[in-house]
Homo-oligomer: A and B are copies of this chain.
Amino acid sequence: MNGAESLITTLVNNGVTMCFTNPGTSEMHFVAALDEVEGMRCVLCLFEGVVTGAADGFARIAERPAATLLHLGPGLGNGLANVHNAKKGHVPMINVVGDHATYHLQYDAPLTSDIEGIARPVSHWVLTSSEPADIARDAAEAVRQAGHDQVATLVLPADVSWGDNPNGAAPAVAIPGPAPVPAERLQRAVTLLGNGKRTGILLGGRHISDTQTLLLSRIGRASGARVLTETFPARVRRGAGTGVLERLPYLAELAIDSLKDLEQLILVGADSPVSFFAYPDVASVIPPAGCDELLLAAPGEDIEQALEFLLEALDAVDVSPDTYPLQVPDLPSGALDANSVAQALAHYLPENAVVVDEGITSGLACFPLTANARPHDWLNQTGGAIGWGLPAAVGAALAAPERKVICLEGDGSAMYTVQALWTMAREQLDVTVVIFNNRKYSILELEFARTGARGGKPGPKAASSLDIGSPDMDFVAMARGMGVAASCATTAEEFNTQLEAALASGGPSLIDARVPPLQLG
């Protein structure tokens, strides 16, 4: 077996059976090996940002990493933003980046670049395989690294791929479960919860499960602590029957105000909250000065076990959680805006749907309005690099073909990786895309004001830089051009009909929802 076959076999032996690809010449032996090795599904994407975003979405729902196949340094560069998002969200990913043959690098051919250098800022682990005989060992190590919710990037020179590998493939590696939280920290948390101070518990991490929401809600009721989630956890279970938790606001000013009375903050799978960006007159740190913080559990540690421990230590195993009752709103009518979209979404949201949220400003209304909807998973943008939503929806739909995936997308953010629509059509994925087409970088109008630049009032050039309505973008045309059924909604009634039909279709659909921009102030 050659190096590529050894690599793919090792990945399959370890349950890595999905590979998102955009290959080039240096990866042709890997591509050839897909037909020699059983068990690896391969999904072609037209751009590497789709490849890496799909791998992220897949891993969030499948709870196991996907592989990517990328073409040298520039291919990795094209996919870098969504690797960044995965890294920030503790989402595992195994990137295989083809390179020139080892002996060819010295000639500095046009596509030669420092692949490891490009990979390192967005990977937890980077290695270049140097011999076909090593590739199974190296692939197994990549699997092990990804097993710790990390991004592993393996550079595969063409001659390592095509060379004969006498060692065959590696078997399944043992991936330990999440590490238990040390007793010392557990005790410290119990002490904090019992000292009578105003306490918050902030939950985050790669997957806030139903169980976790319920446990934390019960802890809150038993201890009197406020119970919150991060603003953008990678995946969170929501809707009817889940535990009631506050979401920390995105805007630093609001988040700071929300936490201003806390004396103690216990972090569970979450980092200490900070402002997304810096602003001239806003603090970077969200909790108030003097707030005592405890990192109870890091993202890779056993969060459920820690929460269960606290519940028992509080002598509260009989305390029931505060849960969201099912409340499905009526359908909206009249003019279409972000709120009516949110209301229709809450009305139709199918049981166990996956919502991929890159709706930016227009998506803001969707989150609160779906709190009482049928139970579902919500995926958030974890790294702030836009162009994640459409690709992540591709990956989520492939991970759970039996579930409905709904992708909430800003018009601006959709255009970073709009090529994802083609893969949705090619694979006939059950994804409903809602484009909030407000013809603005609306978030940047808000942010411009917040930074106080030019007194918060854009001049003509700045205003033009935030305006993407000239020319107007027709997402129906673009979607159809890539094989996705699409329609345009300008009233709530139109949107209702189209959303119902899209969800019933079983295949990919796009709704170009013409909404007014967010009203500031």
Residues of chain A having any CB pair with chain B under 8 Å: 21, 23-26, 28-29, 31-32, 34-36, 42, 44, 46-47, 49, 73-75, 77-78, 80-81, 84-85, 88, 100-101, 103-104, 107-111, 113-115, 117-118, 120-122, 158-159, 162, 232, 271, 274-278, 280, 284-285, 382-385, 387, 412, 415-416, 418-419, 422, 425-426, 443-444, 447-448, 450-451, 453-454, 458-462, 464-466, 468, 470-478, 480-483
**Cβ contact within 8 Å between B44 and A465:** yes
12 new A-B contacts, CB < 8 A, other than A28-B451, A77-B78, A471-B483, are: A35-B461, A46-B468, A77-B122, A78-B80, A104-B274, A104-B277, A110-B382, A118-B118, A118-B122, A158-B278, A158-B451, A416-B419
Residue of B34, B426, B477 near A461 (CB, 8 A) is B34
**Cβ contact within 8 Å between A74 and B80:** yes
Given A110-B276, A275-B104, A412-B46, answer yes or no on A471-B425 (Cβ-Cβ < 8 Å). yes
Given A73-B121, A276-B110, answer yes or no on A480-B470 (Cβ-Cβ < 8 Å). no
Query: What B residues does A21 contact at CB under 8 A?
Result: 465
Q: When chains A and B are docked, how far (Å) is the Cα of A258 from the Cα of B252?
A: 65
Q: When chains A and B are docked, how far (Å) is the Cα of A422 from the Cα of B115?
A: 31
**Cβ contact within 8 Å between A118 and B80:** yes
Supply 23 A–B pairs (Cβ within 8 Å), ascending by A: A25-B444, A26-B277, A26-B278, A28-B451, A34-B465, A73-B84, A74-B81, A74-B84, A74-B85, A77-B80, A78-B80, A80-B118, A84-B113, A100-B278, A104-B277, A107-B275, A109-B284, A111-B383, A472-B483, A474-B480, A477-B477, A477-B481, A478-B481
**Cβ contact within 8 Å between B32 and A458:** yes
10 closest A-B pairs (Cβ-Cβ)? A35-B459, A471-B483, A77-B80, A477-B481, A74-B385, A101-B278, A32-B453, A478-B481, A104-B278, A74-B81
**Cβ contact within 8 Å between A121 and B114:** yes
Residue of B75, B85, B104, B108 near A271 (CB, 8 A) is B108
A460 to chain B, nearest CB (A): 6
**Cβ contact within 8 Å between A81 and B78:** yes
**Cβ contact within 8 Å between B109 and A471:** no
Q: When chains A and B are docked, how far (Å) is the Cα of A474 from the Cα of B42?
A: 24
Query: What B residues does A448 contact at CB under 8 A?
Result: 28, 31-32
Query: What B residues does A35 contact at CB under 8 A?
Result: 454, 458-462
Given A415-B419, A444-B23, A477-B478, answer yes or no on A84-B77 (Cβ-Cβ < 8 Å). yes
Residue of B109, B274, B385, B472 near A275 (CB, 8 A) is B109
A251 to chain B, nearest CB (A): 12
Query: What B residues does A415 contact at CB under 8 A?
Result: 46-47, 419, 422
Query: What B residues does A278 contact at CB under 8 A?
Result: 26, 100-101, 103-104, 158-159
Which residue of B is nearest A122, CB measured? Answer: B113
Query: What B residues does A75 contact at CB under 8 A?
Result: 81, 385
Query: What B residues does A480 contact at CB under 8 A?
Result: 474, 477
A36 to chain B, nearest CB (A): 7
This chain: copies in complex: 2
A299 to chain B, nearest CB (A): 13
Of A74, A104, A425, chain B has the most CB atoms within 10 Å of the CB of: A74
**Cβ contact within 8 Å between B73 and A77:** no
**Cβ contact within 8 Å between A274 and B109:** yes
Of A24, A120, A387, chain B has the most CB atoms within 10 Å of the CB of: A24
A308 to chain B, nearest CB (A): 29
Q: When chains A and B are docked, how far (Å) is the Cα of A113 from the Cα of B454?
A: 28
Q: When chains A and B are docked, how far (Å) is the Cα of A46 from the Cα of B414?
A: 10
Given A277-B109, A444-B24, answer yes or no on A471-B426 (Cβ-Cβ < 8 Å). yes
Query: What B residues does A103 contact at CB under 8 A?
Result: 278, 284
Given A28-B447, A47-B416, answer yes or no on A471-B478 (Cβ-Cβ < 8 Å). no
Q: When chains A and B are docked, how far (Å) is the Cα of A465 from the Cα of B41?
A: 11
Which residue of B is nearest A475, CB measured? Answer: B481
Which residue of B is nearest A413, CB measured? Answer: B46
Q: When chains A and B are docked, how far (Å) is the Cα of A122 from the Cα of B114?
A: 8
Of A75, A101, A471, chain B has the most CB atoms within 10 Å of the CB of: A471
Residue of B109, B158, B460, B471 near A276 (CB, 8 A) is B109
Which residue of B is nearest A482, CB measured? Answer: B473
Query: What B residues does A461 contact at CB under 8 A?
Result: 31, 34-35, 42
**Cβ contact within 8 Å between A470 and B426:** yes
Which residue of B is nearest A87, CB measured? Answer: B113
